[in-house]
Amino acid sequence: MIGISIANSKEWECTLNFFNKNVYDCLKYPYGEYFILEYLNKKIVVYHSGVRKVSSSSACQYMIDKFNLEKVIVIGTCAGVNSKYHELDIIIPKMMVQYDCTVKEMEPLIKERFNVSLDLKELDFNYHTGIIGTSDKPLVMYDDYLSVKENNIDIVDTESAAIAYVCKVNNVKILIIKGISDFPIKENNSDIKSSYDNQYNIFVSNIPKVMNKIFKEYLDKVL
């Protein structure tokens, strides 16, 4: 069975809409809800994990144990870092890193033992790739944006690298498909909240655009 992991609640709403499901079609589990279906001749469990590393990685382990998953596909939004990409671009990362595991004032930002690299040679279509960085803190502050950019991270989220690490230790295949919903906005020090609100509004408005693009243009190619 293949698992499709969805973190954000608004992303989950888009997922239910795409598969023509509602809350009454879903089963509950400790981290959220899920449904099972046959899609393109594949048996799939689609599950809402909740956001951040603990919830999403725990949900992944639960689903691996319950359904003996052979593959996990993480679908959702991300913040952009590399300026060669733009809002609504879809990225399939070749490496996942965690950038909140070190004391950055004394250590390199990225601790290599948490990195997960993927061989994407089996994908026989054109796609953007790069490095995704994961942190429990969303990428909002501009200083954080500059820090991850200096470390050659292309996009960031709050789940993917943690999920990938769980899959790695369980010897389960993993694929991440993320669409850029927003970029950090350089804040005015006198009104940081206004910058955050602007970025958040862009993020929310782009969620359905990203999710529909992934489902319609990519899902059938990666299952």
User: What domains appear along the chain, each with residue ranges and CATH number?
Assistant: 2-222 (3.40.50.1580)
- Mean predicted confidence (pLDDT) in 97-117: 89
Largest CA distance in the chain: 55
- State the Cα–Cα distance between residues 223 and 117, nearest whole angstrom: 19
Query: What pairing do the DSSP bridges indicate for beta strands 90-91 and 95-98?
Result: unpaired
Terminal Cα distance for the chain, rounded: 11
Which pLDDT band holds residue 219 (cuts at 50, 70, 90)? very high
Which pLDDT band holds residue 192 (cuts at 50, 70, 90)? confident
Residue 63: the pLDDT is 98
- Model pLDDT for residues 41-56, shown as the tens digit of each residue: 999 999 999 999 999 9
Q: Is the dihedral of CA 174, 175, 179, 183 positive or negative?
A: positive
- Phi, psi (5° rounding) for residue 13? -60, -45
Helix segments in 25-115, DSSP class H: 53-67
- Mean predicted confidence (pLDDT) in 61-78: 98
- State the Cα–Cα distance between residues 77 and 15, nearest whole angstrom: 12
* Nearest Cα to Cα of residue 93 among 165, 174, 8: 174
Over pLDDT 90: what percentage of the chain? 85
* Nearest Cα to Cα of residue 72 among 152, 1, 154: 1
Helix (H, G, I), strand (E, B) or coil at 27: strand
- 């959702």: which residue's tokens? 76
Question: Which tokens hold the place of 12?
Answer: 């989950």
Angle, alpha carbons 103-110-176 (nearest 5°): 135
Over pLDDT 70: what percentage of the chain? 98
Residue 104: the pLDDT is 78
- Mean predicted confidence (pLDDT) in 161-176: 98
Q: Are 134 and 161 in contact (CB under 8 A)?
A: yes
- State the Cα–Cα distance between residues 120 and 118, nearest whole angstrom: 6
Residue 190: the pLDDT is 59
pLDDT(195) > 90: no
Q: Provide the CA 56 distance to its chain's centre, in angstroms.
A: 10
The structure's pTM equals 0.94
- Mean predicted confidence (pLDDT) in 85-91: 98
- Mean predicted confidence (pLDDT) in 62-86: 98
